[in-house]
Structure 1
Amino acid sequence: MTRRIGIVIFPGFQALDLAVGTVFELANDAMGMPAYAIEIVSERGGLIASSFGAAVDSRPFGAADFDTLFICGTSAVFEDSPGLVAFVRHAAAVSRRVAAICTGAFVAAEAGLLDGRRATTHWAKARELQRRFPAVRVEEDRIFIEDRGVWTSAGMTACIDLALAIVEADLGPDVARDIARRMVMYHLRTGGQSQYSAMLEMRPSSDRIQRALAFARENLRLELTVERLAEAASLSPRQFSRAFRAETGQSPAKAIETLRVEAARRLIEEGRLPNDAIARETGFADPDRMRRAFLRTIGQPPQAVRRSARSAAAA
């Protein structure tokens, strides 16, 4: 069976969102058959300019009975056209799934698809989405969310995570992992994972400090002393400590704690391991140390994160 994938574009759409097409292209290759057929559509058809000016050909809106309809986002929220909103509303009634990428959630909300549903969007636009559409249950710090056949995702590269999750639902986890490897992705991000990244927030500028942080993230179970991190960076401990604080604005000890909390939070949200196992896996040694680090870093204990993840999964 070939599933029809519709991708809705409009003037100024974010070109990166078309990466979802690559996910389904590679799914076809992995399966050795046309598991998906991709169609790019727009209100009037023809060439549509993306956010950086490159134009993409499209066919005009017509039959909307797709297996999955993707709504692209934009770099800034734009005024939805009545024709676009009407098409999305109709497509939701006759298609199996609708997926809104980034600010595409505003189009879905305008069409009434998100009323009473959990949804997410780019972190920078989440509160505006909630303000404009109070009937939507916006969760601003999620990679993607599925609620009763309607999927929404964060911005930019989160569209790839969303498409991979849809492939996994259709064809299984082995196919999704194979596609992620082909796309040279570091790992498959779950929908419940935070949009926030401690590694990006630190913004180290030199290769040596980046190398030390990468070593730390891959070896959180070890005792990550300044001496060990300095060795990974090929610096003396004194040089390393001085350079690390200058480039990240924090001490190595604080940075390692933040990385451990981020990793532990992800494992808690996945829900497969108890807290004592997660504490060992992420280098906290025991749950009490992990609890204190959570309170310092994110202001809530691991139990609260677990309850929130369970509530979201139940919803």
Structure 2
Amino acid sequence: MMRIGFVVFPGFQILDLAAMTVFEMANVVSHQAVYELHLVSEFGGAVTSSAGVAVHTEAFDEQEYDSVIMMGSIGIHTPSPGLLGFLQQAHSGSRRIASICTGAFILAEAGLLNGLRASTHWRHARELQRRYPKIKVEEDRIFIREGKVWTSAGMTACIDLSLALVEADIGLDASRTIAQRMVVYHRRTGGQSQFSALLTLEPKSDRIQTALTYARSNLHKPLSVEDLADVAHLSPRQFSRAFRAETGQSPAKAIENLRVEAAKSMIETARHPIDVVARETGFADPERMRRAFIRTLGHPPQAIKRMARMQTH
């Protein structure tokens, strides 16, 4: 049985406890006690979350854990020496250690992320990089695995992280079944974006929103300005002017971002050849898709494919 310690502190973000449910369900679907779960804190007893709800915890002790998962908070928590010491000991004595959301700041303060890639909530990623320049912060990643150290984005990304940990332990079928039981999509890959290209556009009118929704559902089509304007019931000139005013982007740039997002998802979650991905997402050919990836993501499709393959091994 694998012993897991979930580490909390006063003011921790209570949504992070959803990570525990993944391991609980792993026991259920396995029909045996695969994991032994412990909620721990420096002094034990009741620890109050940022929502004002207290949970009962065990105090740090000398027992070893297979895995230690550091919870995060809405802001950036200043860890005590006792907490840092516990994590440093856990890093040397446990099979793996992980952080959720701003828990990455606590691992970083303990010196456990130096020289590694790491992720955290997108709102705090640049601050993590500023405070700890020895870390390579990848602010748009759902989760990252660097050897025995795992870090994840914030909020519901704790579920993706936990599903990936379970998958590494007992297999893909189990993690897929758990996701179904929890009524969530099967876990997003670690390299998948924290953002949605459609959400970042935030159009203000129904006409522009309708055109964007149509575009996302028809990326395999040419999607000219004339096509989108027709969907929005505007002239091409009116549509282009309204689109830029509401989203801050040209229609062409927005469509390219949507295509890149869809292509990246296909590359990360399936084994389609690059030319098939380019065709299905509306790029005329792989070379145009490659240039769009470099403009938008800074990496060609082949690099994204390699990173996704590394995350699954």
Scaled by the length of structure 2, the TM-score of the pair is 0.84
Q: Which moved more, 1:290-299 or 1:33-42?
A: 290-299
Offset of residue 14 of structure 1: 0.9
Offset of residue 206 of structure 1: 7.6
CA distance in 2, matches of 1:123, 1:86: 27
Tell me which residue corresponds to 2:128. 129
Q: What secondary structure sits across from 2:122 in the alignment?
A: coil
Offset of residue 230 of structure 1: 8.9
Tell me which residue corresponds to 1:78. 77
CA distance in 2, matches of 1:209, 1:184: 31
Structure 1 pair 27–153 and aligned structure 2 pair: CA distance change class (3 A): same
Offset of residue 135 of structure 1: 2.6
CA distance in 1, matches of 2:250, 2:82: 54
CA distance in 2, matches of 1:214, 1:28: 40
Structure 1 pair 222–64 and aligned structure 2 pair: CA distance change class (3 A): farther
Tell me which residue corresponds to 1:181. 180
Offset of residue 312 of structure 1: 7.0
Offset of residue 211 of structure 1: 7.1
Structure 1 pair 79–216 and aligned structure 2 pair: CA distance change class (3 A): same
The count of aligned residue pairs is 310
Structure 1 pair 64–135 and aligned structure 2 pair: CA distance change class (3 A): farther
Amino acid across the alignment from 2:184: M
Amino acid across the alignment from 2:234: R
Q: What secondary structure sits across from 2:123 in the alignment?
A: coil
CA distance in 1, matches of 2:273, 2:55: 48
Structure 1 pair 73–230 and aligned structure 2 pair: CA distance change class (3 A): same
Tell me which residue corresponds to 1:277. 276
Tell me which residue corresponds to 1:33. 32
The alignment status of 1:256 with 2:255, answered yes or no, reads yes
Asked if the contact 1:268–1:305 (Cα under 8 Å) also holds between the matched residues in 2, the reply is yes
CA distance in 1, matches of 2:308, 2:289: 20
The alignment status of 1:238 with 2:237, answered yes or no, reads no
Asked if the contact 2:244–2:251 (Cα under 8 Å) also holds between the matched residues in 1, the reply is yes
Q: What secondary structure sits across from 2:51 in the alignment?
A: coil
Structure 1 pair 69–299 and aligned structure 2 pair: CA distance change class (3 A): closer
CA distance in 1, matches of 2:208, 2:31: 43
Asked if the contact 2:77–2:106 (Cα under 8 Å) also holds between the matched residues in 1, the reply is no
CA distance in 2, matches of 1:144, 1:23: 16
Structure 1 pair 273–183 and aligned structure 2 pair: CA distance change class (3 A): same
Asked if the contact 2:189–2:308 (Cα under 8 Å) also holds between the matched residues in 1, the reply is no
Structure 1 pair 230–31 and aligned structure 2 pair: CA distance change class (3 A): farther
Asked if the contact 1:271–1:306 (Cα under 8 Å) also holds between the matched residues in 2, the reply is no
Amino acid across the alignment from 1:34: A
Scaled by the length of structure 1, the TM-score of the pair is 0.83
Tell me which residue corresponds to 1:288. 287
CA distance in 2, matches of 1:14, 1:41: 15
Offset of residue 181 of structure 1: 2.2
Structure 1 pair 301–166 and aligned structure 2 pair: CA distance change class (3 A): closer
Asked if the contact 1:64–1:95 (Cα under 8 Å) also holds between the matched residues in 2, the reply is no
Unmatched runs of 5 consecutive residues or more in structure 1: none
Mapping of residues 9-24 of structure 1, within 5 Å? 9-24=8-23
Unmatched runs of 5 consecutive residues or more in structure 2: none
Amino acid across the alignment from 1:37: E
Asked if the contact 1:23–1:163 (Cα under 8 Å) also holds between the matched residues in 2, the reply is yes
Asked if the contact 2:143–2:152 (Cα under 8 Å) also holds between the matched residues in 1, the reply is yes
Amino acid across the alignment from 1:24: F
Structure 1 pair 31–108 and aligned structure 2 pair: CA distance change class (3 A): same
CA distance in 1, matches of 2:290, 2:2: 46
Offset of residue 64 of structure 1: 4.0
Asked if the contact 1:205–1:247 (Cα under 8 Å) also holds between the matched residues in 2, the reply is yes
Cα root mean square deviation, aligned: 3.3
CA distance in 1, matches of 2:29, 2:209: 34
The alignment status of 1:110 with 2:106, answered yes or no, reads no
Asked if the contact 1:19–1:159 (Cα under 8 Å) also holds between the matched residues in 2, the reply is yes
Offset of residue 256 of structure 1: 3.1
Offset of residue 257 of structure 1: 2.5
Mapping of residues 87-106 of structure 1, within 5 Å? 87-106=86-105
Tell me which residue corresponds to 1:190. 189
Asked if the contact 1:5–1:66 (Cα under 8 Å) also holds between the matched residues in 2, the reply is yes
Structure 1 pair 215–65 and aligned structure 2 pair: CA distance change class (3 A): farther
Amino acid across the alignment from 1:74: S
CA distance in 2, matches of 1:224, 1:34: 53
Amino acid across the alignment from 1:200: L
Tell me which residue corresponds to 1:221. 220
